[in-house]
Every structure is written in C-alpha cells, then in structure tokens.
Structure 1
Amino acid sequence: MVEFKLPTWYTTPMAQVVLVGITCFATVGMFSAVSNLGAGGLSDITLSDTSQGVLYGTFAITGLVSGGISNLLGPRLTLFLGTLGYALYVGSLWCYQTQGTGWFVILAGAILGVSAALLWSAQGAIMMSYPLEKDKGKAFAIFWAIFQLGAFIGSIIALAINIESGGLSAVSTSTYIAFLVIIFIGVASAWLILPPNRVVRSDGTIVKLEAFSKPHEEVVGMIRLFKDWRMLALVPMFFASNYFYAYQGSINTNMFDGPTRALNATLEGAGAIVGALMIGYFCLDLKFLRRRTRGLLGLAVVTVLVVIVWAVSLSWQVTFTRADVSDANRINYHDANYKGKGALFFFYYFSDACYQALAYWIMSALTNDPFKLARYAGLYKALQSAGSAGSFGMDAVSTPFLNEHLASWILMLASIPLAYLVLRTVKETNYGDEKMVYVDDLKHGAAEEGAADAPATRTESIEKGSVSDRAEDTPRPLVASA
C-alpha cells in the first residue's frame, strides 16, 4: 500500500489558520456581504432584528455545548456542519425577496444559530491552539483579515451598485446564485482542515496526539470550565464583544441613505482588517516584550480606543433621536454633515477587531490544549451571542438610540478591570505545564491514528519562561514535560 504524505507546508499551523480563514471568508463573509446588499431581512428592519435575535438566541444556547461537540466530532466535520447554516440563511433571504416568506428567514436564522456555534468553536480551537505561543496574535490577525475580506468585498459591490443607480432595493437572481456558489465552495473547503494530531509546529511538536475527545472527558471539562474563576471574570468581556453591532447597524440603516450605508459598510470592513493586522502584529506578538506585558499593552490599546471612539460617538448621538429618523433627513456622503461620520464607522470596526483580538489572545494565553480552547471558544461565542440577542431585541422594540449606545459602551468599560485581573495570571509560557509530543519521537503512524498511548521518548523538563521565544528555525529543542 502506497502511503500518501501531506506536504510539510500544509501541516503547518499558519496554513491551517489560512484555510479556516478561507472557509469563513466564503461562508460567514458572504453571509455578511449579501446582507450588505440591502435585500432579504434588511428591507424590513423589524424582520431583520427578529431573525437576528432568534439566530443569536439559538447560537447562545448551542454555544454552551458546541466546544464539546467539536472535540467529539473533530474540527473537519464540525466546520462542515457549521457552514451549512449560512447557505440556508442566504437562500432564505433570496426566497423572502421573491416570495415574501418572512417565516423562512426566522427559521433559517434559528438553524444558522446552531450551525454557527459549531463553526466558531472549531475555528476558535484551530486559531488559538495550532500556532506557537509567540504567533497567536498574528494568527488572529491573519484569520480576521481573510474572514473580514468577504464582507469588505460585498460592501464594495453594494457601494458600486448604489453609486451607479442611486439605490439598491433588491438583489438579482444571478447575484444570489454567485454568492451561494461561493458559500458552497466554503462548505467544501472545510474538509481541507486537519485535526490537531496531523498539525506539526515549526519546533517539531504536534498540537495534540489525540484526534478526538471522549464524552466523559467533555462532561468533566465543561464542569471545570464553569468552575474556573478566570472564565467567570471574562463573562462581561464575552457578553459585550458583539453587543454593539445592533446599535451600529441600526444607526447606519436609519440615519444614512443607500449609497452612504454601503460606503459606511466598506469603511467598517477596512477598519476591521486594519485593526486586526495592527494589534496582532504590532502589539500582541511584539518579540521584545514579555508575554504578560504584551497582553497588558493590548488591554491599554483597547481601553484607549473604547474610550475615544465611543466618546466621539456619544457627541454625535446626543444630537438626534429616533423621532428625527425620516427619509428626508437621511445623510448622504456628499452632505456637509457627513464629515467625520465615515471615520467613526471605520474606527467602530477598527476598535472591534482589537477588542476581539484581545479576548481571543487572553484565552489562548491560558492554555495550548485544543480541547480546552474549543470549550473556551464555545463559551465565548455563547455569551457573545446572548449579548447580541439582547441588543437586537432592544433595537427591535425601538429602544432610544442613546440607551443602546450607553448600554454598549458601559458593558465594554465594565469588562476591562476584570480582563486585567485575568491578564495578571498569564504565565510567560505554558509549555512547561503541558505535555509536549514531538513528531519524530512517535512510533510510525501513531500521529496519523491519533494514538493516545504513544509517548514521546524525551521527558526533559523546562523551567518556566525558558521557551517563550523559541525561534521558527529551531528544529527541535529539548522540551517535553508531563
């Protein structure tokens, strides 16, 4: 029998991060892109808010167990199942536009909530556990930039159509077909993802020898998760991390005309990409700073952004209420009063990317175990979605804009001191506390089979902090510890 060996580059952590980024670009990104085109739920704000509320409600419930499901099924099958809901939801928007089936949009939102929880748990585990500790900020930056590129491209298309026609009330059948083709390519791409026992870091270590977890291990793992004070301290940060989307989307929809909404969405996408790259490469992974210092620097950056961006937003928000919303009062990007608004939407998503990056980085600094990180990611997305469900519910009942603004801002500010307490516990490295398995120390075929009983031959211990800056070209340092 001829043995097929995967290319070395394909089994590297960053290759897998790029692949999962492409999967999310083609599914989540296209879902965001088609929403930006003004069709489906977006032609009816109440329906849109209702479907989004249902989506995030089911997302929150499923997220509590999605990490365990991902560990049992493996990242490949979990991602595949997780992507299917996006195809269904985009199909429901198309159906609503042609048939007026609002109920289908809501049902598809509920199903998407379940599948999205699976996708994001698997994605989080891959992004946070596969790379070396010194590359986890860059891993987020690469993933987030690729993922957000989908929404960015969709918003550019919407902007071009709006500028040419002066508006966009519907999306053509051919456009929907094009988006669905891309989404199904994303669904298929999930099968390119490798399980942790097939991924080899540049220092020669395998991410984790076991390919799958066991049900009883997940039960115990979930109990420990809810007993971990650090996870409890991060609850406000998790809850607040998407809460502001409903407010920002409502402001964009109500206060601006079609072309300007598309322009704002384009600026949002650009802000998300730039923000992720900036904090990932130039803050969280700075080589000359110790790991805890990098985390505290990231927290300082996020704090400054949250204070400044939302203070500027408040200065604008106090000048209008929902009673001022009308077609006659909508702002166009040519108007004098649009000045500064585009920059605000850019920095909304610039700061959002930094906030999300910090949350993921803190979780990934607590452990390198992909099974634990899948549970962390599931809890993160569950609480994040619970916050989103609440915020879309607020907007659906026409809560005053100022109340939505203050709720979003206060939640983020309240999360910062608790995140600081967790950051104080971050070690310089977790390598000394976790079992390190080297691929060339395993019995033949053990890694591919996910054998849990094939130990590394070396068990040298390291002192804490001695391997935090292992070079990429180091072939195999003597680092293995039970």
Structure 2
Amino acid sequence: MVNYPAWYTTPMAQVVLVGITCFATVGMFSAVSNLGAGGLSDVALSDTANGVLYACFALTGLISGGITNLLGPRLTLFFGTLGYALYVGSLWCYQTQGTGWFIILAGALLGVSAALLWSAQGCIMMSYPLEKDKGKAFAVFWAIFQFGSFIGSLIALAINIRSGGLSAVSTSTYIAFLIIIFIGVASSFLILPPNKVIREDGTIVKLDAASKPHEEVVGLFRLFKDWRMLALAPMFFASNYFYAYQGAVNAAVFDGPTRALNATLEGAGAIVGALMIGYLVLDLKFLDRRTRGYFGLAVVAVLSIIVWAVALSWQVTFDRWDVSAANKNRIPFINYHDSNYKGKAALYFFYYFADACYQALAYWIMSALTNDPFTLARYAGLYKALQSAGAAGSFGMDAVATPFLNEHLASWLMILVSLPLAWIVVRTVKETNYEDEKMVYVDDAKREAAEHGAAGPESSSIEKQSVEATA
C-alpha cells in the first residue's frame, strides 16, 4: 500500500489537482474553440454539434453520479477526459479534411465523457473539504479551470491583433493543445479516492472507496424523490442556458479581434467572480452557514438583475436581422477601438463574473445539504444533466434564428425564477451535518482495525497518514 505525503491527502490538494485536470482538458477545449477554427467556422455545424453534445451530456448525467461511485473518482475522471482530446482532434480533422460528421460524432462522445468528468469533479470539490471551506474549494477550482480558457483567449487576442483576423489554426497549434490535453488525461491518476483523503480535523472523507450497484439504483431512486433537488431543478437548468445567446451576440456584433478580447474578459470575469464569492461571501467566518447562503443568494440576485438589465438596454437597440449577413444594410462590426465599445467590454466581463457566482451558489447549496461523497456525486450528475439539457435547448433555440431579444428574456427569466426556489432550499440548510452523518476519524479507524486484528497494509497506511498529518 502506498504511503502518501500528508499534504497530498488534504482536501485542498485534491481540489487543486482536479482543477489542473480540468484546466488542461476542459480549459484547453474552450481555448481552442475560442480560436475560431474547426467547426466554429460553420455556425450551423457548430450549433448542431453543441446540441448533440449537450443532449448526450444530459442523458449520461442522470447516471454519471452512480458510475462515479462504482468506479471511484480517479477512474471516472480518466474516462471523462478522453472525450476532450477526441473533440479537439475532430476540429483539427475538419479544418484539414472537411469531415463535419466527425465533429458531430465527437460531440456525442464528448457529451458522454464530460458527464463522467463533471460528476467526479463535483464529488471531489463538494465532499472532500470541511464545511467551512466549501466556498473556497469552489473558488480555487473554478479559478484554475477558467485560467485555461483565459490563456487560450489571450492567444487568440494576440493573433487577431497582429494579423487583423484568424481564419485557421495551424497544425502546430493543434498539436500543442492536444499535448496539454493528454497531460490533463494523465493527471487524472493523481486523484485519490475518498477513503484516502484526510481533513484537517482528522476525519476521513469516506471509509469506502466505492459503492455497490444495488446501492446506486436505490440512490438514484431517492434522488428523484428528494424535493430539494426538484426545487433546485430550475436553477440547474438555467445555469448554462445563456451561453448560446451570449456567444451568438458576440459572434454577430463584434469583429474578430474584439470577439477575442471579449473572450479574454469573460475568462477574467469568471476567475474574479469565483474568488470573490468563494472567499468573501460563502465562507465568511463571522456568519452562520444559513446566513452565508442567504448572503450568496442576495449577491447573485443583485448581479442577475443589474447585469441583465444593462444587457437588455443594449439588446433592444438591435435585432438578429440588423446583424445578419443576409441584410445588405447591416450595421458594421464593433471594434474595441470604437467609442461605444467600453460599456460592452464591461458587460462581457460581468456576464461571466455573475455566472461564476451563480455556479458557486448552486454547488454550495448542494454541498451544504450533505457531506457524503456518494450522495454528492449523484447531486453533481443531476446538476450537470439538467444544466446540459438547458444548454442543448438554448443552442437549438439559437440554431433556428430565434430573435436575440427572445433568447435574452428566456435566459434572464429562467435565472430570476430559479432564485426564490433556491431560497426555499437554503432555508433548510443546517449549521452542520456532522451531527447527523457518521464521521470517521483516522485514530478511530486505526483503533477499530487493531481491535479486529486487521492492522494490515491498509490500516498501516492510514496510521502513517495520521501521524504525518498531525506532525
């Protein structure tokens, strides 16, 4: 049995590691997409591929939590990363060979693998840390993960500014991104199962490394009977719905360099927003846990009202026909040098600032309901399933050229409707779940193993981790 260093078995070390995995896979996938090549050069193909991707994501998400619990987070995370390499490869293949069918197939397979990745990620991020650190865990993960998209956007911005546009991505660029993605695939094996992770209070996340099939069937049935998950369903569904609208307006209104700058501002907004709400709102030490939930809900509500109201004031000044290529009298693209761009730059920054806060609140509420990693894996799977169903619907809505104003109002109203229902769930949050759930301490596990004469390699490993953690 491997004896791990004490720092390696801490929850935050595992959160950082899963952040690195997502940075190198999901982040690079977003980054190469921002470069404007592959399927993204054909809007209809892009919408179709994204629709298929999110549809498969939604279906797989319903069972991905159970798969995570059966295989363990490490193996699930590994399988979850493979789809990203395949999809980026399909973009490269489309650019060189024009194989549109491959992008759609890769999108379907990515939807399946992404559901696995995000269920494992959610399990680790929500269950491994102590209750007082769950907001910070999200902040650290989200900042690392979004940094991948931020770097890709900076690359696109630099190329666009230098050349005035970006019509293709070179072979060497694709190879570089694929190398980083495969590093992310390999990094998934650094993740520890819950029975190897020791919190700073001396508790083990979970004695069992995996669950059993019949337990997952029962767990899935209970999941759909949980009224709190039903109340949170609108929040889950709305959490990615607006991406299609925001991306469509970005592509239709701005020129190439400015689209790349907006993508950079989006990444920066996501990083800052996650760190702000994680450290300064959801984990404030001088507030009790339910009050922190109310505070987070208030912050998200205010941001949602202000940001989307400002966006509405701009959206009513144009429609899809005004910026359509079929319109001979179309308005010119906005460039970042133009005097009317400054407000738009702030809007795209705060779009993703608010998005990070919204996502953080959803994860925090789920993680406040229980500390059990198996239950939280199922919660994460359901969250991503409904989130992806919403995203699939939004891309389908955009693919049929729905008026931008309709897309805007649909996205905004879903957010506003979800918040009162989330408030009802926050009202049930207890100050701690440790009193209701069995907490296993390293010393107790070691003592029980010794009493039963089972002080073998497993208990020796736990004992060594305990000694190192308290040294």
Task: Tell whether 2:22 aligns with 1:19.
Answer: no
Query: CA offsets, 1:431-454, max 9 Å, x none?
Result: 00011111122226779759xxx9
Task: Tell whether 2:346 aligns with 1:331.
Answer: no
- Structure 1 unaligned segments of length 5 or more: list them: 455-473, 477-482
Query: CA offsets, 1:75-134, max 9 Å, x none?
Result: 000000000000000000000000111110000000000000000000000000000000
Task: Tell whether 2:392 aligns with 1:394.
Answer: no
1:436, 1:326 → 2: CA distance? 59
What residue is the counterpart of 1:40 in the other structure?
Answer: 38
- Structure 2 unaligned segments of length 5 or more: list them: 326-330, 463-468
Task: Tell whether 2:293 aligns with 1:295.
Answer: yes
Q: Secondary structure at the match of 1:264?
A: helix
Moved more, 22-31 or 322-331: 322-331
What residue is the counterpart of 1:317 in the other structure?
Answer: 315
- Written as runs of structure 1 = structure 2, the 5 A alignment for 1:182-331 is 182-326=180-324, 329-331=332-334
1:317, 1:381 → 2: CA distance? 29
What residue is the counterpart of 1:431 in the other structure?
Answer: 434
- Written as runs of structure 1 = structure 2, the 5 A alignment for 1:72-151 is 72-151=70-149
Q: Secondary structure at the match of 1:202?
A: coil
Paired AA for residue 402 in structure 1: L
Change (3 A) 1:446 1:22: farther
Q: Secondary structure at the match of 1:428?
A: coil
1:56, 1:388 → 2: CA distance? 6
2:373 to 370, 373, 376: 370
Contact 1:439–1:447 (CA under 8 A) maintained in structure 2 = no
Query: Identity of paired residues, percent?
Result: 82
Q: TM-score, normalised by structure 1?
A: 0.92
1:353, 1:67 → 2: CA distance? 23
1:4, 1:262 → 2: CA distance? 46
2:431, 2:214 → 1: CA distance? 31
Query: CA offsets, 1:191-233, max 9 Å, x none?
Result: 0000000000001000000000000000111111111100000
What residue is the counterpart of 1:348 in the other structure?
Answer: 351
Contact 1:245–1:388 (CA under 8 A) maintained in structure 2 = yes
Q: TM-score, normalised by structure 2?
A: 0.94
Once the two structures are TM-superposed, the CA of residue 329 in structure 1 deviates from its matched residue by 1.5
What residue is the counterpart of 1:357 in the other structure?
Answer: 360
2:374, 2:305 → 1: CA distance? 35
1:448, 1:231 → 2: CA distance? 40
Contact 1:55–1:109 (CA under 8 A) maintained in structure 2 = yes
Paired AA for residue 185 in structure 2: V
Query: CA offsets, 1:153-178, max 9 Å, x none?
Result: 00000000000000000000000000
Change (3 A) 1:34 1:447: farther
1:47, 1:256 → 2: CA distance? 21
Contact 1:79–1:118 (CA under 8 A) maintained in structure 2 = yes
What residue is the counterpart of 1:158 in the other structure?
Answer: 156
Paired AA for residue 293 in structure 2: G
Query: CA offsets, 1:281-312, max 9 Å, x none?
Result: 00000000000000000000000000000000
Once the two structures are TM-superposed, the CA of residue 475 in structure 1 deviates from its matched residue by 6.3
What residue is the counterpart of 1:464 in the other structure?
Answer: none
1:391, 1:475 → 2: CA distance? 50
Once the two structures are TM-superposed, the CA of residue 5 in structure 1 deviates from its matched residue by 1.4
Change (3 A) 1:272 1:317: same
2:18, 2:457 → 1: CA distance? 20
Once the two structures are TM-superposed, the CA of residue 330 in structure 1 deviates from its matched residue by 1.1
What residue is the counterpart of 1:459 in the other structure?
Answer: none
2:261, 2:378 → 1: CA distance? 37
1:68 to 66, 69, 86: 66
What residue is the counterpart of 1:480 in the other structure?
Answer: none
Q: Secondary structure at the match of 2:321?
A: helix
Paired AA for residue 354 in structure 1: C
2:350, 2:312 → 1: CA distance? 14
1:92, 1:255 → 2: CA distance? 28
Contact 1:130–1:201 (CA under 8 A) maintained in structure 2 = yes
Higher helix fraction: Structure 1 or Structure 2?
2
Change (3 A) 1:81 1:330: same
Paired AA for residue 417 in structure 2: A
Change (3 A) 1:448 1:69: farther
1:127, 1:446 → 2: CA distance? 31
Paired AA for residue 174 in structure 2: Y
